[in-house]
């Protein structure tokens, strides 16, 4: 009976023997580090709200493979971004460049803010002058006094 317990114990504890060694994430951690930094700034074309770093789509994997190759060739970040932009357009950049077609995109929010602040000022000034003229004229004051005295009688 004892030997049965020993065998059960052996089977229950030997699971780790079957496990494989963890796959290394990349052959070169430095390359991988740069890849992550660059691809965080790039859009995945297949699932457009994911970055190239985070996407599990086939295209994203292929593109990461290409970018890894470019990094190993010693290309600069600018050259790597150019590689992507020349194929997929500015749309792949999460930070689009400032140029005539994107002026509205970059300046639009500030423009709206200026308009908002301007209308706030106009509104406040108008309200102030309204309050200023809200008082009674001498004539009206006399009439009000008269009415009040009449009420007291």
Partner 1 sequence: MKAKFLVPLALFVVLVLFLAVGLRLDPREVPSPLVNKPAPAFKLAQLEQPELQFSPEDLKGKVWVFNVWASWCVACRQEHPVLMDFARAQIAPLIGLDYKDQRKDALGVLKRSGNPYDLTAFDADGRVGIDYGVYGVPESYVIDKAGVIRYKHIGPITSEALQKTIIPLINELKKS
Identify which of residues 100 and 151 has a Cβ nearer to partner 1 in the complex.
100
130 counts as binding partner 1 under rule CB under 8 A: no
Token representation of residue 56: 């599990």
89 counts as binding partner 1 under rule CB under 8 A: yes
Angle at 84 between CA 83 and CA 87, to 5 degrees: 95
**Least distance from partner 1 to the Cβ atom of residue 51, Å:** 15
Identify which of residues 72 and 141 has a Cβ nearer to partner 1 in the complex.
72
Among 36, 88, 93, 96, which residue interacts with partner 1 (rule: CB under 8 A)?
Answer: 88
Q: Which stretch binds partner 1 (CB under 8 A): 13-21, 28-36, 87-95, 141-149?
A: 87-95
- Using CB under 8 A as the criterion, what x/- string covers residues 45-74 for binding partner 1? xx-x---------xx--xx--x--------
Rounded to whole angstroms, the Cα distance separating 136 from 58 reads 78
How crowded is residue 96: how many other Cβ atoms within 10 Å of its Cβ?
Answer: 15
Identify which of residues 41 and 66 has a Cβ nearer to partner 1 in the complex.
66
- Name the DSSP class of 74: T
Under 8 Å CB-to-CB from 47, ≥6 apart: which residues? 55, 57, 60
DSSP 26-65: -S-HHHHHHHHHHHTTBB-SSSTTSBTTT--SHHHHHHHH
Q: How many residues bind partner 1 (CB under 8 A)?
A: 15
User: Which chain residues interact with partner 1 by CB under 8 A?
Assistant: 45-46, 48, 58-59, 62-63, 66, 85-91
């Amino acid at each position: 009976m004892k030997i049965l317990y020993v065998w059960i114990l052996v089977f229950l504890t030997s699971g780790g023997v079957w496990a494989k060694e963890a796959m290394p994430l990349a052959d070169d951690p430095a390359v991988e580090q740069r890849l992550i930094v660059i691809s965080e700034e790039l859009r995945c074309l297949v699932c457009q709200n994911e970055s190239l770093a985070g996407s599990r789509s086939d295209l994203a994997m292929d593109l990461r493979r290409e970018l890894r190759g470019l990094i190993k060739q010693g290309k600069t970040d600018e050259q790597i971004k150019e590689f992507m932009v020349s194929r997929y357009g500015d749309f792949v950049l999460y930070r689009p460049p400032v140029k005539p077609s994107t002026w509205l995109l970059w300046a639009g929010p500030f423009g709206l803010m200026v308009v908002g602040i301007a209308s706030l000022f106009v509104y406040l000034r108008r309200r102030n002058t309204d309050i200023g003229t809200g008082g009674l004229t001498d004539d009206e004051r006399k009439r009000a006094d008269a009415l009040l005295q009449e009420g007291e009688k």
